[in-house]
Amino acid sequence: SQQGEEDPQALSIQEGENATMNCSYKTSINNLQWYRQNSGRGLVHLILIRSNEREKHSGRLRVTLDTSKKSSSLLITASRAADTASYFCATGDFGNEKLTFGTGTRLTIIP
Amino acid sequence: KAGVTQTPRYLIKTRGQQVTLSCSPISGHRSVSWYQQTPGQGLQFLFEYFSETQRNKGNFPGRFSGRQFSNSRSEMNVSTLELGDSALYLCASSLYSGMNEQFFGPGTRLTVL
């Protein structure tokens, strides 16, 4: 079963604009991670935020986590054509040694 | 370090057959997880192995099985294939835990006819 629901399901923006994706989850978590997947290939880890952290940055990526609302957002600034991909959130749940993935957001950057 | 490798990359089978997929984790990684990805169900966790022991299992029928060898390489097996088993099967490795940063292989695309 899916733990995370991502919103929106699909997003198209112009190159250079910022892209924001949201993830909601249901249970208590140890950490939340974001991954990128280029068309039908393996996933690439982008960033991990722990349950006691509220914000984290990595290059053009900014992730926030609100455990009271059970939600997270991923912001990609100054988007590039190479950012076109599907983005997934995944939660590391207490009591399980596994990740549960969300439904994903398909991001298209228009040159 | 070399990344996670999966073989074969593509596979076509017919209903009722069985299939074995292989995964070689990053050197030094002891945890190997398997996921099934389909358009309808998304990414679903199959199982995780750590030091040759299955540590966690997803909600899949017993036709799906796996194992891990002493060198951390892992295999998964699907018996009596069904059309619905057509999917991208992804293997991921990490140092110690299936819920920390995962390093994914390119996947094996299985088509069941």
Q: Is the pLDDT of residue A102 over 60?
A: yes
Check residue A73 and give its pLDDT.
Answer: 97
Q: Which residues of A touch B102 (CB under 8 A)?
A: 33, 35, 43, 45, 99
Would the CB atoms of A40 and B88 count as touching at under 8 Å? yes
Give me chain B's average pLDDT, please: 95
* B29-49: average pLDDT: 94
Q: Can you list the alpha helix ranges (DSSP code H) found in A1-108?
A: none
Instruction: Give the pLDDT confidence of A11-69 residue by residue, as tens digits.
Output: 999 999 999 999 999 988 999 999 999 987 889 999 999 999 999 999 999 999 999 99
Residue B85: helix, strand or coil by DSSP?
A: helix
Q: Is A30 exposed, middle or buried (0-12, 13-18, 19+ CB in 10 A)?
A: middle
* B46-54: average pLDDT: 94
Say whether residue B46 is in contact with chain A using an 8 A CB cutoff: no
Check residue A3 and give its pLDDT.
Answer: 61
Q: Integer distance in angstroms from the first to the last C-alpha of chain A?
A: 36
Q: Is the pLDDT of residue A80 over 60?
A: yes
Say whether residue B45 is in contact with chain A using an 8 A CB cutoff: yes
Q: Model confidence at A1, in pLDDT bands (50, 70, 90)?
A: very low
Check residue B78 and give its pLDDT.
Answer: 98
Would the CB atoms of B56 and A33 count as touching at under 8 Å? no
Q: Which residues of A touch B58 (CB under 8 A)?
A: 98
Instruction: Give the pLDDT confidence of B14-26 residue by residue, as tens digits.
Output: 999 999 999 999 9
Q: With the C-alpha atoms ordered B67, B5, A47, B30, is the resulting torsion angle positive or negative?
A: positive
Q: How far is A40 from chain B (nearest CA, A)?
A: 8
Q: How many residues does chain A have?
A: 111
Distance from chain centroid for Cα B76? 6
Query: Secondary structure of chain A: what % helix, strand, coil (to 5)?
Result: 5, 60, 40
Q: Model confidence at B61, in pLDDT bands (50, 70, 90)?
A: very high
**Closest in A30, A40, A97 to B56, CB measured:** A97
Check residue B2 and give its pLDDT.
Answer: 85
Chain A residue with the nearest C-alpha to that of B48: A98
Q: Model confidence at A106, in pLDDT bands (50, 70, 90)?
A: very high
Check residue A93 and give its pLDDT.
Answer: 81
Q: How far is B63 from chain A (nearest CA, A)?
A: 19
Q: Is the pLDDT of residue B92 over 90?
A: yes
Say whether residue B28 is in contact with chain A using an 8 A CB cutoff: no
Instruction: Give the pLDDT confidence of A82-96 residue by residue, as tens digits.
Output: 999 999 999 998 777
The amino acid sitting at B63 is R
Whole-angstrom distance, CA of residue B76 vs CA of residue B111: 16
**Closest in B50, B100, B104 to A42, CB measured:** B104
Q: Which residues of A touch B104 (CB under 8 A)?
A: 35, 42-45
